[in-house]
Amino acid sequence: MALQNGEKCEVGSSSSGLIRVVLLLRVVAFFATAAATIVMALNKQTKTFVVATIGSNPISATLTAKFQHTPAFVFFVVANGMASIHNLLMIIADVFAPNFDYKGLRLAIIAILDMMTVALISGGVNAAVFMAELGKNGNSHARWNKICDKFGSFCDRGGGAIIASFVGLLFMLLITALSIIKLLKPKSHHNCSSLVP
Amino acid sequence: MAKIKRICTFLLRLIAFGTTLAAAIVMATSHETTSLFAVSFEAKYTYTPAFKYFVIANAIASVYGFLVLFLPSDSLLWRLVVAMDAVLAMLLTSSISAALAIAQVGKKGNSHAGWLPICGQVSKYCNQVTGALAAGFVGIITYAILLLYAVHTVLNPLLVQKT
């Protein structure tokens, strides 16, 4: 699209600053969600309990706490994994092909995918946070005992993964807001670069 | 065309208000007491923080939906409505995800943690909670549609500069 003679040509300093801010936010969000995925996926604790004593021989049972035992944590790992893959793909697309466009829909697709990723992370982290609260406090009315006093480091690592995921969610919210702003004010400095001598 | 858009938006907002109100009320009135071998077993939504969060989130969404129904269609507050729609959609997503996680433990139990399922004893309570969650799901889907619709109608003519 050629510019008319009288049209002002925006030198896109503000929009390239916006692009760099979004890229930086995406890198931080990628690290946060990847950390949450990895910490929760490797979350496992085995402990041996003495359950009875016959004579002078203690009978012990070995119990394991794994993240696969709880569907909410499985969903948490899957959701954060998908969010970090999404961020990685967006970073790669921004760094290696910043001008690649598909029928002018690139910014709209990025904004919609960002919104979907925010919803996914939000669902995953909230399910995990309430399950963790149940494990930490138990529920006396349903006669569910708490498990965090026996499996302390399992609970600690789970808590750390949840905090990392919340940080990732916060950054993804900022990225989504900025993507929507970019969608509604598309950059025009690519058209100017051919005019500037 | 504008009239059809207005009717569509009004209808969607009415559905959203109705479903979130229904979800909040059905969850709040779920209460059952049974006795099993002279041990009384009571199930209320206040005994679980996730269900309390679900009721509060849906109550906030229904109050907001009720207020927005009366907004005149050319007021400047519609841009605030778009932002609030996004915030409330996120709130509803998180609340339904949390309530679903706890309800799944209540229904199937967790054998590794030694948690027995409670739906066998308080099945009426379980059915009411399931109904409330289903209404919550319809509410969140309606809010998602409303959000996309609002971004398209309100923000598009205002700010898009076509190159």
Residue-level pLDDT at A190:
45
For B16-59, the pLDDT digits (tens) are 999 999 999 999 998 888 877 767 778 888 888 999 999 999 99
A44-54 vs A57-66, strand pairing mode: antiparallel
Residue-level pLDDT at A195:
45
Nearest CB to B115 within list A65, A119, A144: A144
The answer to whether residue B15 sits within a structural domain is yes
Residue-level pLDDT at A196:
45
Question: Which stretches in chain A have pLDDT values below 70?
Answer: 1-15, 186-197
Coil, helix or strand for B30?
coil
Residue-level pLDDT at A14:
62
* Residues facing residue A62 across a β-bridge: A48
For B67-114, the pLDDT digits (tens) are 988 877 677 777 788 888 888 899 999 999 999 999 998 888 888 888
- Do the chains contact at A122 and B105, CB–CB below 8 Å? no
Range of the domain at B148: 2-28+44-157
Residue-level pLDDT at A160:
94
Counting one residue from A and one from B, how many pairs have CB atoms under 8 Å apart? 88
The answer to whether residue B130 sits within a structural domain is yes
The answer to whether residue B162 sits within a structural domain is no
Tally of structural domains, chain B:
1
C-alpha closest to that of B155 among B87, B70, B71, B86: B86
For A24-77, the pLDDT digits (tens) are 999 999 999 999 999 999 988 888 887 777 777 778 888 888 888 889 999 999
Tell me, yes or no, if B82 comes closer than 8 A to chain A by beta carbon.
no
The answer to whether residue B35 sits within a structural domain is no
The answer to whether residue B59 sits within a structural domain is yes
Is the pTM higher than 0.95? The answer reads no
Tell me, yes or no, if B163 comes closer than 8 A to chain A by beta carbon.
yes
The answer to whether residue B36 sits within a structural domain is no
C-alpha closest to that of A117 among B87, B99, B90: B90
